[in-house]
């Protein structure tokens, strides 16, 4: 039996998503259907799928509501390969824009919106034309695996960082090395984290800090999606790694250039410790209807 799926295509710095609304939580797509929708030749094409579900209608949503009763909507995120992910930094801005566009939520200037995710509740506020999301606390995690990638002459040490989902950040020597990588091939991590990882390759700009803002370039191979034009949580992990390597006196504000645009990262003191904020654009591109088997 087939059914029609009404969707909206959205993107943030070129990280693109298929979004659909399922308030009651009765349209869970199978991994095969997700991979088919995300296929760039046979489907709509996207780096991931985001289902908007009322938190009260999902098990993970109940945890979100317990954490913050304002989190009435849950961002149910799936990678293009049909596997679930805990968090998506570009996705949460596009998700917010989608809820507003569909009339499912309101967000007045100066207010914030709480969104349920598998990594916990995250709050989003308007930021000029785009949005900024408080991605909460971060931590060093996943050790320092050796990373091999196609066209990288020798393995390099990476730094494991968890921002709700897993990342490994690798510093490269210069722009030529970054541009020469072939990220169509999966980078190999040794040891390999059990749950996999998104792998970010970074190069500092010259100078690294300008007007108090740290500046880096980044490319990413996303777990479950391959090379993408941007990864929001990846940009956060990359800025945190370079800030960590730079040591005392490193800035709290970072500008991360990715192939699809520029993202802002800010480390700040929140009520219960250090948090990290991600800012950037969010756009809805088109609506469509897909017949799914
Ligand atoms: N593109 C996202 C991250 C999406 C999930 C990631 N691929 C994972 O598996 O953790 C972002 O903008 O953060």
Rounded average pLDDT per 10-residue block, the chain, 293 residues? 93 98 96 97 97 97 97 98 98 98 95 98 96 97 94 97 98 97 98 96 96 98 98 98 97 98 97 96 98 89
Cα angle value 200/193/11 (rounded, 5°): 40
Asked whether residue 106 is marked as a ligand-binding residue, the answer is no
Closest CA to 218 of 206, 207, 197, 234: 234
Q: Is 258 in the pocket of ligand 1 (CB under 6 A)?
A: no
Is residue 25 lining ligand 1, measured as CB closer than 6 Å? no
CB 200 within 8 A of CB 219: yes
**Residue 133: which residues within 8 A CB-CB, separation 6 or more?**
89, 92, 93, 96, 122, 123, 124, 232, 277, 278, 279
User: Measured between alpha carbons, how far is 88 from 102 in angstroms, rounded to an integer?
Assistant: 20
Q: Where in the chain is the domain with CATH 3.10.310.10?
A: 3-135+281-292, 139-271
**116 and 75 in contact (C-beta within 8 Å)?**
yes
Measured CA to CA, the distance from residue 236 to residue 161 in angstroms comes to 9
What is the per-residue pLDDT for 177? 96
Contact 104, 77 (CB under 8 A): no
Name residue 21's beta-bridge partners. Answer: 52
Query: Class of 3-135+281-292 per CATH?
Result: alpha beta
Q: Show the CA angle centred on residue 158, arms to residues 156 and 164, nearest 5°.
A: 160
Mutate which of 75, 233, 278 for ligand 1? The one with the most ligand atoms within 8 Å of its CB, which is 233
- The pLDDT of residue 169: 98
Residue 197 CA, ligand 1 centroid: distance in Å = 9
**Alpha carbon nearest to ligand 1 atom 2, residue:** 88
Asked whether the ipTM of the predicted complex exceeds the cut of 0.90, the reply is yes
Q: Is the alpha carbon torsion for 26, 30, 35, 36 positive or negative?
A: negative
pTM above 0.95, yes or no: yes
CATH superfamily of 139-271: Diaminopimelate Epimerase; Chain A, domain 1 (3.10.310.10)
């Amino acid at each position: 039996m087939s059914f029609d799926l009404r969707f909206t295509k959205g993107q943030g710095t070129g990280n693109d998503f298929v979004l659909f609304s399922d308030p009651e939580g009765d349209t869970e797509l199978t991994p095969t259907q997700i991979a088919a929708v995300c296929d760039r030749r046979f489907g709509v094409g996207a780096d991931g799928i985001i289902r908007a579900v009322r938190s009260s209608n999902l098990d993970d949503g109940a945890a979100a509501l317990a954490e913050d009763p304002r989190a009435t909507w849950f961002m149910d995120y799936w990678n293009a390969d049909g596997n679930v992910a805990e968090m998506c930094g570009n996705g949460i801005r596009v998700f917010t824009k989608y809820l507003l566009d569909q009339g499912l939520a309101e967000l007045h200037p100066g207010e914030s919106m709480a969104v349920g995710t598998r990594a916990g509740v995250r709050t989003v506020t308007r930021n000029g034309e785009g949005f900024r999301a408080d991605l909460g606390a971060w931590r060093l995690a996943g050790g320092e695996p050796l990373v091999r990638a196609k066209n990288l002459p020798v393995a390099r040490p990476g730094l494991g960082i968890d921002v709700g989902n897993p990342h490994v950040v690798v510093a490269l020597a210069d722009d030529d090395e970054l541009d020469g990588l072939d990220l169509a091939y999966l980078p190999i991590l040794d040891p390999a984290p059990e749950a996999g990882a998104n792998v970010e390759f970074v190069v500092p700009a010259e100078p690294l800090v300008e007007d108090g803002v740290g500046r880096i370039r980044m490319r990413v191979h996303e777990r479950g999606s391959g090379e993408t034009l941007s990864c929001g949580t990846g940009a956060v992990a990359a800025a945190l790694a370079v800030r960590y390597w730079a040591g005392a006196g490193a800035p709290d504000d970072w500008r991360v250039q990715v192939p699809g645009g520029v993202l802002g990262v800010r480390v700040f003191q929140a009520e219960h410790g250090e948090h990290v904020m991600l800012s950037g654009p969010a756009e809805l591109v088109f609506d469509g209807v897909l017949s799914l088997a």
